[in-house]
Amino acid sequence: MGCFFGIIGVAIIWPASGYFLICMLGWLGLKKQEQLTRWMQIPHHWLDKKIPFLKFKNTKPILKNFPNIIENIIIKLPLKLIITLPIAFIGIVLAYYSIWGASSCF
């Protein structure tokens, strides 16, 4: 059973990551690259809409914006990481177990 799900996972993950790489290098054209980056920004835009407090502030020159920079680094960056890192971790775990399951076929 693990072999079956591993093969399915590898069959989905490898072509998707290859397509992502080719698209981000711009080899499929700027239009496709734009579409992919738009899809990648959806979670960030959603997060900014749901929790507007986490939106970074950067509208002034650095010397006049020092309190906002400190707030962004000390408060907002760790909160964004706490919210977004579990999503990335789930993807890494799925990739690991699909490769592990596919390797159990031998």
71-95 pLDDT, tens digit per residue, is: 878 888 888 888 888 888 988 898 8
Domain ranges of the chain: 2-103
Q: How many CB atoms lie within 10 A of CB 35?
A: 13
Question: What's this model's pTM, rounded to 2 decimal places?
Answer: 0.55
| 56 pLDDT higher than 80 | no
Which residue would you say has higher pLDDT here, 106 or 78? 78
Q: Tens of pLDDT along 15-50? A: 888 887 887 788 888 888 888 888 777 777 777 777
Which residue would you say has higher pLDDT here, 48 or 6? 6
